[in-house]
Structure 1
Amino acid sequence: MAVNLELLEELVAFKRYGTLMATAEHLMITQPTVTRGMKKLENDLGVTLFDRSVKNRLVLTETGELAADEAAKLLQHVDDFEEKILNFDHLKNELPASSTIPGPLMFLEYYQKEFPGKVQVNRRLLAPEEVVPELFNLKAKLVFSSQEIMTDEIESLYLGNEFLKVAIDPFDPLATHSSLTFKDLGNKSFLVFQDIGQWKKVIEDNIENANFLYQNDMNTMEAISQNSNFPFFISNLTQSLPSTTDRSSADGPNRVIVNLDDPNNQMEVYASYLTSNRRQLQPLLKKLSQAWPKE
């Protein structure tokens, strides 16, 4: 009988933290995932690991206590084994990543220097229906999208929200506002990068009579933005990145960043991956989650 190491990791974490909620938070997965995992582990082992007789409380049986202790030893041996192999073969650290929207990929590229793996970013944005095949076909180990996927083989971690802001010429009357809505932006012309995934439908559906000047090359777009007064969009993920600050200024600041306070201006971002890759991805996901901008 082959025992799932991820389930053993959940068992060890439960013994340490004492509740399903705390276990899920530590492992950065959902509480239902832990519940299903512990039931599956009991079925796989053919023993009772938890006492469920106490209302609203789950405790380990004596067998469960022993299983958690032995699982901790086994996982340590696995960690030692993996460290030796990975040190020998650095290529095993490669981490290809894809997305349905560009912001998370740009955010990942900026922070990848702080992650010891070799992150490979696929700049071709995926359609939402391509996310699952991308993971199953091992084209990517990590995919960012607005959809949560929870199956036995794939799980998603909610990282945060992405929302747009608009960079406006300081002499435009709208630049004096602390926030705007999509309706306020009607009848204007905007510089927009061609491949913005799901955000393209959002702006086209919500900004009336707008003229979107789509650009295929980011360098060309940066040159046009620095030598014109066309507004353009950024997001909370890209606002502080060097590529955005360069585009917002020439010899000095030539754009004012204004928030868009609109109910349609929000996209939840999830990081989806095969459960078998969870342990490799956790350091990166924790870094991204901690660095994710709240404004």
Structure 2
Amino acid sequence: MIDLDLLNELVTFKKYGTLSATAEHLMITQPSVTRGMKKLEQELGVELFDRTANRISLNKTGELAAKKAKTLLNAEKSFKDAVINYANTNNTIKVSSVLPGPISLIENRRNKIIKSKIKTTSANDLVKAANVATNIQNYDNQLVFSIDEINNEEIESLFVGNEKLAVMIDNFNPLAAKKSVSFQDLADQIFLVVNDIGPWKKIIEDNIPDAKFLYQEDIDALTELSRYSNFSYFVSNLTLTGRNIVEDENRTLVPIEDDANKIEIYGSYLKNQKTRIKPLLKEIIKIWPN
């Protein structure tokens, strides 16, 4: 069996291009890398390098070997992660989402949820929509909130509720006097927005004409900047459950009434985890705000 460390050296050489750079990155000596590459050639029974007096480079066989080695190393890492993550599911339900609202709701209302041991990812570390199924299959998380229903041999989804936006508007802005606004009403406004808001980003950018969005790294940065500016910012029925945004004395909370202002959210999980996940989801549905 080929030593995976040798494959890692080969992949690293492909990336950095020289023995010295490979050795420096792996924190080993250059002679060690040289011996490792020769040993790998011997084990495979092929030449992987073109060698001259002053230079060594991958030949076509070496290029292919490096590509296949990278695939194998990624598979080995995925295998390890899946096994470790699965072992951890015995004690903890790991929860993530493609948008921050559900994570904020759970964190803010933990005392209303059953006493399952729940570990949520950061609302700033969301799962990409395209990666939801893979994330669940690899046991990275046992429950992922997404905007798409999944129903296949391994995974199923349960509808949990809708998320809708409202907007916090400066008290001196004429829009603050309205009972509600549409996205069209918000044209030309400037908004503070958390950088990763999942699918909401496309919705607000597509539906609010000529608006300017000042994206902030996280909610703390947005909160701090909001104290020293009169820019508007968005909240939702989920994020309002915990933060004292409505106590912002300089702004008025105005609902957004618009056909585009709704996202259906599903909780997705492995079918073989249903007995653990579904009771938790039912509790979350109970506290889900309108």
TM-score normalised by the chain length of structure 1: 0.65
Asked if 1:196 corresponds to 2:197, the answer is yes
Measured in 1, the distance between the counterparts of 2:117 and 2:231 equals 37
Task: Give me the identity figure in percent.
Answer: 41
Aligned equivalents of 1:248, 1:226: Cα separation in 2: 13
Distance apart, 1:112 and its partner CA: 2.9
Aligned counterpart, 1:268? 264
- In 2, Cα distance between equivalents of 1:90 and 1:121: 14
Question: Which one-letter code corresponds to 1:195 in the other structure?
Answer: D
Instruction: Tell me: CA distance 1:90–1:262, structure 2 relative to 1, closer, same or farther (3 Å).
Output: closer
- Aligned residue for 1:184, secondary structure, equals helix
Moved more, 223-232 or 186-195: 223-232
- Structure-to-structure mapping, 1:42-191, within 5 angstroms: 92-113=90-111, 114-123=113-122, 124-191=125-192
**Structure 2 residue ranges without an equivalent (≥5):** 1-86
1:29-68: per-residue Cα shift (whole Å, max 9, x none)? Answer: xxxxxxxxxxxxxxxxxxxxxxxxxxxxxxxxxxxxxxxx
Matched, 1:288 2:280: no
CA distance in 1, matches of 2:160, 2:167: 23
Q: Which whole-Å CA distance do the structure 1 matches of 2:238 and 2:212 have between them? A: 24
Give distance in 2, aligned partners of 1:120 and 1:172.
40
The AA in structure 1 aligned to 2:274 is R
**Aligned partners of 2:88 and 2:99: how far apart in 1?**
29
Q: Whole-Å Cα distance in 1 between the matches of residues 207 and 162 of structure 2?
A: 19
Kindly provide the amino acid, as one letter, of the partner of residue 137 in structure 1.
N
Match of 1:259 in 2: 255
2:256 maps to amino acid: L
Unmatched 5+ residue regions in structure 1?
Answer: 1-88
**Partner AA of 2:101 in structure 1:** G
TM superposition shift of 1:248: 4.6
CA RMSD of superposed structures (Å): 1.8
Determine the C-alpha separation between the residues in 2 that align with 1:127 and 1:117: 26
1:19-34 alignment, distance < 5 Å:
none
Larger radius of gyration: 2
Q: Which residue type is aligned with residue 272 of structure 1?
A: S
Note the alpha carbon deviations across 1:113-137, whole angstroms, 9 max, x for none.
Answer: 4332222222211221100000100
Q: Distance in 1 between matches of 2:250 and 2:241?
A: 16
Q: In 2, are the aligned partners of 1:225 and 1:248 still within 8 Å (CA)?
A: no
Moved more, 90-99 or 117-126: 90-99
What SS does the aligned partner of 1:204 have? helix
Distance 2:164 2:232 in 1: 16
CA contact 2:96–2:145 (8 Å) conserved in 1: yes
Q: Identify the residue that residue 211 of structure 2 maps to in structure 1.
A: 210
Aligned residue-pair number = 201
For the Cα contact (< 8 Å) 1:248–1:254, is it kept in 2?
no
Question: Which aligned pairs between 1:202-241 and structure 2 lie closer than 5 A?
Answer: 202-241=203-242
Please point out which of 269, 275, 278 is paired with 2:274: 278
Matched residue type, 1:120? K
Please give the TM-score of this superposition, normalised by the length of structure 2. Answer: 0.66
- After TM superposition, which residue ranges in structure 1, 4 or more long, deviate above 6 angstroms? none
Q: What are the Cα deviations for residues 7-47 of structure 1, in whole angstroms up to 9, with x where unaligned?
A: xxxxxxxxxxxxxxxxxxxxxxxxxxxxxxxxxxxxxxxxx
